[in-house]
């Protein structure tokens, strides 16, 4: 499914003319101005799956944030902005093929990290409460308690529970199970499959972070199926060789000047992996 058909970023002349018009030459930082700034307007045409590839500082994450703000997508984490961000958005042009559903969202690596951190904090709280309940069980089991009024009813129930159950059963029945039943990588993958729902535009910023190669392959399959069967459009910034090889994805190389469309096996990152393992293979068989 294609909702966003085209997005046009301003060129250097557009940016220069804007600042000449508003007479803000005294400023030296204009983020997101001067980050992408091609000599000609940068026009991105989108497929059901489109990938923005490039090294650190190439502008691919900035491009995702600009697209997300222009489309007014939901987001969880804050991102780099400046007083000029709204001005920059006015210079950008987007063409929609379909109305963007409300379920659409930008998902960043910070979102995934915060999600894992929240689970960790919640687990720590559960672990602390569990220790308290061990002591509570022993106090209740051997307590010489007599109910004197209805105010003591809850305490009576606690004492009766402790006397009729083992310590582990008492804790299990009164405390939810620890949520941390999966690794950080598994929880990260779970976060993506819960966030990416049917019929929406989803922008993913380096989703491979926290994922093992095996989990990246699972995410690759999930993204392919989401676009093919569930009406999703995915726009993603990534370095992952596994995600770069997604079937049918259009890849824009932000390391090229100007930005070019390339096959995944033509990218510098993939060639680096290939050369590394080829050299390692030759050394092993000497």
Looking at residue 178, its pLDDT comes to 52
162 vs 143: CA distance, rounded Å: 10
Show the low-confidence residues of the chain (pLDDT under 50): none
pLDDT in the model for residue 21:
73
Per-residue model confidence (pLDDT) at position 5? 96
**Element housing 223 (H / E):** helix 213-229
pTM here is 0.75
Q: How far apart are CA 159 and CA 138, in angstroms?
A: 10
Q: Cα–Cα distances in Å, from 58 out to 25, 141, 220, 245?
A: 25, 64, 23, 20
Residue 176 per-residue DSSP state = P
**Residue-level pLDDT at 176:** 54
pLDDT for position 205: 93
58 in Cβ contact with 254 (< 8 Å): yes
- In Å, how far are 2, 128, 165, 199 from 97, measured between CA atoms? 7, 52, 62, 14
Read off the pLDDT of residues 123-171 as tens digits, 9 standing for 90 and up.
Answer: 555 565 666 666 776 777 667 666 566 565 566 666 677 677 676 666 6
The predicted-structure confidence for 85-104, as pLDDT tens digits, reads as follows: 898 999 999 999 989 999 99
With CA atoms as reference, report the closest residue to 204 among 249, 174, 167: 249
């Amino acid at each position: 499914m294609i909702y966003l058909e085209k997005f046009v970023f301003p060129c250097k002349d557009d940016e220069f003319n804007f600042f000449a018009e508003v007479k803000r030459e005294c400023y030296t930082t204009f983020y997101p101005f001067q980050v992408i700034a091609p000599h000609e307007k940068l026009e991105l045409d989108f497929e059901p799956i489109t990938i923005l590839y490039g090294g650190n500082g190439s502008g691919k994450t900035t491009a995702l944030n600009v697209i997300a703000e222009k489309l007014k997508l939901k987001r969880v984490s804050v991102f780099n902005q400046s007083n000029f961000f709204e001005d920059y958005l006015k210079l950008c042009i987007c063409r929609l093929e379909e109305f963007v559903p409300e379920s659409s969202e930008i998902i960043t690596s910070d979102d995934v990290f915060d999600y894992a951190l929240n689970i960790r904090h919640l687990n720590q709280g559960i672990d602390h409460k569990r220790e308290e309940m061990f002591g509570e069980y022993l106090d209740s089991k051997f307590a010489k308690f007599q109910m004197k009024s209805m105010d003591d009813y809850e305490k009576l129930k606690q004492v009766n529970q402790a006397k009729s159950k083992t310590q582990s059963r008492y804790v299990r029945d009164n405390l939810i199970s620890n949520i941390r039943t999966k690794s950080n990588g598994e929880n990260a993958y779970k976060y993506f499959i819960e966030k990416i729902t049917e019929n929406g535009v989803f922008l993913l910023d380096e989703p491979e972070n926290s994922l093992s190669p095996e989990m990246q392959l699972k995410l690759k399959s999930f993204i392919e199926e989401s676009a093919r069967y569930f009406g999703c459009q995915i726009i993603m910034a990534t370095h992952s060789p596994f995600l770069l090889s997604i079937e049918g994805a259009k890849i824009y190389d932000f390391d090229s000047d100007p930005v070019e469309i390339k096959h995944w096996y033509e990218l510098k990152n993939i060639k680096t992996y290939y050369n590394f393992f080829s050299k390692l293979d030759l050394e092993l068989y000497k």
